[in-house]
A and B are shown apart, each in its own frame.
Chain A
Amino acid sequence: MATVSFDRTRKAFGAHEVLKGISLDVADGEFVILVGPSGCGKSTLLRMLAGLEQATGGDIRIGGRSVIGVSPKDRDIAMVFQTYALYPHMTVSENMGFSLRLAKAPKAQADARIKTAASMLDLGQLLDRYPKELSGGQRQRVAMGRAIVRDPKVFLFDEPLSNLDAKLRVQMRAEIKALHQRLKTTSIYVTHDQVEAMTMADRIVVMNGGNIEQAGTPLELYDNPANLFVAGFIGSPSMNFIEGILEAGSTFRSKGGFTMPMPHGLAAKMGREAVYGIRPEHVEIARNGREPTLSPTITVVEPMGAETLILAEFDSDSISVSYRGRDIFKPGDKLPIVIDPNQAHLFDKATGEKIR
């Protein structure tokens, strides 16, 4: 196990700068997830840590030791690839034991480690099979087994679940998390799926355009997003954004002229252009004679069983509402809603930063 540090790490491909000076410290045993849209640089950062890409600036340290110029094999890390990268001509056992074979580990010791990893991942019956004889989930387990056998300082995961179907993804998510809780090896995991990030991470690092937008625990990011990008990226369904202006009396007025209550305790400048953010699950339906904040017109109703997602429009804006219940709403109906100001967020329109 080891700490990992990125210190103003940069990467450019020709004139195109992919990472613009990343600084991040990962604690010993921590499970950190790098999340962001395609092209944000998260996989490049992981590959640089693995030694598969060279940094063009800054430093990368594993266990306090700089690994700039150190070959991948000497970094004591193991990586699980998106395509699994299992050697097709080797059996499961040979795949898992390949690194030990190269390191000329004694056969008895290698066999024992393969056996331990296989039993941990329920692969005991598959050791003599070839990758082509395995299902996607089994291949994924073998790829993890290959990493575990090495007992590395750091585990790296590069979108390991993206090739699996939805059901298997949920199952593997739980297995990876359980595995980390058992092994406690420092792990860095890349995904574009914010649900994966929220459910698995000790800490999430949200990246965008080669920069870190925000790093924090899943609930910190959910409850207190630093800017519009993080607010829109974390949480499913996404946060509603309504553009408007701040007015006297702690009021937000949307472009269409609707007013909404400001989060309490916020002393914002009057006349400032802002974006009002509220999560769909924080919008309530006005019942029992409660005065609605808004009554938009329903455009789409998406029943999902446990909850229902409704998309509604008011003037030029739209708002989505997620609630537990089975009220019969249909497109065209008015939806009386109440917005809790304490659950709302305000962002500066020009900078995207949260107004505090």
Chain B
Amino acid sequence: MYTSRQAWMFVLPALLLYAAFVAVPILQVAAYSLFSWDNGSIKAFSGLANYARLGTDGVFWTALGHNAIWAILTLCFPLLIGLILASILAERSPRVVKVMSAIYFLPRTIPLVVAGIIWGWIYNPIFGLLNYVLDLVGLGSWGGAWLAESGTALISLNVAGAWTFYGFCVLIYLSAIQSIDPSLYEAASLDGASWGQRFRFVTVPLLKSTTLFLGLYSAIEAMRFFDLVWVTTQGGPGYDTEVLTTHIYKTFFLVGDFGYAAALSVVLLVIVLTVGGLSYRILRQS
């Protein structure tokens, strides 16, 4: 048995790395948020003044709203699509499962920046694939500048985001479905359940904790989202696709308002930690 001191020695290297690269920078950012800055250097201690600005910062609230919409849409579509595809796939032969899982998961392996470029092309109003296909099927009038119009920009971006995420949901759901005792489905068939009823009364309830995990995971991801937005719209047009991370980026690098950017970062951190803590608690309970 190790003594407590020896045990600490084993933990120490990881602890030092954690402190140097996680804890200290976070505390640093939190500290910076309490100062006013001028041209990259601290001007004066301002207390909570940077936080007081949040209330009147319309862009912050718009961005936060977009993050919330993003989280809700992610919960609705990639999770639902993932669940349905996984349920269909689970009844196929192992070979089909293997091939289709790889195909579904492919978008997840593409870096988000590349995914952003791909979807930038797809949505391009002049040579984009989407408008071309709409033209082809006689719905040319529906076409438009998907990422440049305020009505469609956020939804279009979310579709791209869903494309990068649904494969992950398929795989997680698939492994959860495969761990369900097959005799439950056989019993349900004998009890008179159709495919839809087996899905509703057996699959969905038994995937509760998986759905909870994916939901909370996607909520955290939705708050941290940056690459796809930055590559495609940079938060535009206007602030129509602005999210917290792009707002922070602009405040820091373009405006140079380090104190306020730090305050925004702390707020984002608190939100993510709250959702994360909540997830941990709920998952443990379930």
Contacts and interface: CB of A to CB of B under 8 A. Distances in A.
A50 B186 CA distance: 9
A89 B183 CA distance: 15
A88 B286 CA distance: 13
A53 to B, nearest CB: 10
Interface string B193-235: 1100100011001101000000000000000000000000000
A251 interface: no
B19 interface: no
Contacts of B186: 50, 52, 72, 79, 81, 85
A71 B197 CA distance: 15
A85 B183 contact: yes
Given A81-B183, A102-B197, A87 B190 contact: no
Interface string A78-105: 1101110101110000000011001100
B191 interface: yes
Contacts, number: 56
Contacts of B190: 50-52, 72-73, 77-79, 99
A72 B206 contact: no
Interface string B13-44: 00000000000000000000000000000000
A185 B186 CA distance: 21
A89 B205 contact: yes
A72 B192 CA distance: 7
A98 B191 contact: yes
B189 interface: yes
A52 B201 CA distance: 19
Given A52-B189, A103-B192, A85 B181 contact: yes
Interface string A44-62: 0000001110000000000
Contacts of A89: 205-206, 208
A327 to B, nearest CB: 50
B79 to A, nearest CB: 19
Interface in A100-143: 102-103
A83 B191 CA distance: 16
Contacts of B206: 88-89
Contacts of B208: 89
Given A81-B186, A83-B181, A102 B193 contact: yes
Contacts of A71: 189
A79 B192 contact: no
Given A89-B205, A102-B197, A83 B183 contact: yes
A102 B192 contact: yes
A72 B186 CA distance: 9
Nearest to A149: B191
Contacts of A85: 181, 183-184, 186-187
A260 B188 CA distance: 58
Interface residues of B, number: 18
Contacts of B197: 102
Contacts of B189: 51-52, 71-73
The interface centre, meaning the residue of B183, B190, B194, B205 with most chain A CB atoms within 10 A of its CB, is: B190
A337 B9 CA distance: 75
Contacts of A103: 192
A50 B189 CA distance: 10
A51 B181 CA distance: 18
Interface in B166-191: 181, 183-184, 186-191
A212 B2 CA distance: 64
A263 B136 CA distance: 90
A102 B191 contact: yes
A79 B193 contact: no
Nearest to B191: A99
A83 B181 CA distance: 9
B93 to A, nearest CB: 12
The interface centre, meaning the residue of B181, B184, B191, B205 with most chain A CB atoms within 10 A of its CB, is: B191
The interface centre, meaning the residue of A51, A98, A103, A146 with most chain B CB atoms within 10 A of its CB, is: A98
Contacts of B201: 87, 98
A89 B191 CA distance: 16
B192 A87 contact: no
Nearest to A89: B205
B194 to A, nearest CB: 8
Contacts of A88: 206
A81 B190 CA distance: 11
B193 A87 contact: no
B199 to A, nearest CB: 13
Interface in B257-275: none
Contacts of A78: 190
B192 A73 contact: yes
Interface string A195-215: 000000000000000000000
Nearest 6 CB-CB pairings of A with B:
A99-B191, A85-B183, A85-B187, A73-B192, A89-B205, A102-B192
23 contacts: A51-B190, A52-B190, A73-B189, A73-B190, A73-B191, A73-B193, A73-B194, A77-B190, A78-B190, A81-B183, A82-B183, A85-B184, A85-B186, A87-B184, A87-B188, A88-B206, A89-B205, A89-B206, A98-B188, A98-B201, A99-B190, A99-B192, A146-B187
Given A52-B189, A87-B202, 10 more contacts: A51-B189, A52-B190, A81-B183, A83-B183, A85-B184, A85-B187, A98-B188, A99-B190, A102-B197, A150-B191
